[in-house]
């Protein structure tokens, strides 16, 4: 399974999750997370796809077969997507197509912030 265990653990730590919080977010047990990280358990293809989507990486990256994630075709889109992904309030935007233009993705994020700010009675800078 290549370097899955190390990549999986690295992604968890990089995104600031504990084993417990990641387990809850993925809908699996904390012990499963620990077994994946130690290499004692190997994910099936369905779980690999779920993990790759969750961490916003491609499966080859998750398996340790590539050094850099190439989930998004346009590097600028990847940058905007990462900024959105890192913001827990904005993750809903990951239903967007992986080949979206970065401007389109940013426009969608800005629109959601404006809508949220309007419903909360905030100006736009307070919602971000």
Look at residues 103, 102, 123 and name the one whose alpha carbon lies nearest to residue 113. Answer: 123
Q: CA 70 to CA 47: how far, in whole Å?
A: 19
Among residues 23, 41, 62, which one ends one of the domains? 62
The tally of domains found in the chain comes to 2
- CA dihedral for 12, 60, 32, 27, sign (positive or negative): positive
More confident residue, 104 or 122: 104
112 and 91 together in one domain: yes
97 and 118 together in one domain: yes
Q: Structural domain of residue 90, as residue ranges?
A: 75-127
8 and 50 together in one domain: yes
Q: Does the pTM exceed 0.85?
A: no
Among residues 62, 83, 99, which one ends one of the domains? 62
Residue 113 lies in a domain: yes
Give residue-wise pLDDT tens across range 45-86: 999 999 998 988 888 888 888 766 555 656 777 777 777 777
Q: Domain of 25: which CATH number?
A: 1.10.260.40
């Amino acid at each position: 399974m290549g370097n899955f265990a190390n990549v999986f653990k690295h992604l968890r730590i990089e995104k600031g999750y504990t084993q417990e919080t990641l387990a809850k977010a993925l809908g699996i047990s904390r012990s499963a997370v620990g077994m994946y990280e130690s290499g004692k358990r190997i994910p099936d293809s369905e779980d690999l796809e779920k993990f790759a989507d969750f961490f916003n990486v491609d499966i080859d990256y998750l398996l340790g077969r590539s050094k850099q994630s190439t989930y998004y075709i346009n590097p600028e889109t990847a940058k905007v997507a990462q900024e959105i992904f890192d913001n827990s309030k904005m993750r809903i935007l990951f239903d967007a197509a992986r080949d979206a233009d970065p401007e389109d993705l940013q426009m969608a994020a800005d629109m959601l912030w404006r809508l949220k700010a309007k419903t909360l009675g905030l100006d736009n800078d307070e919602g971000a």
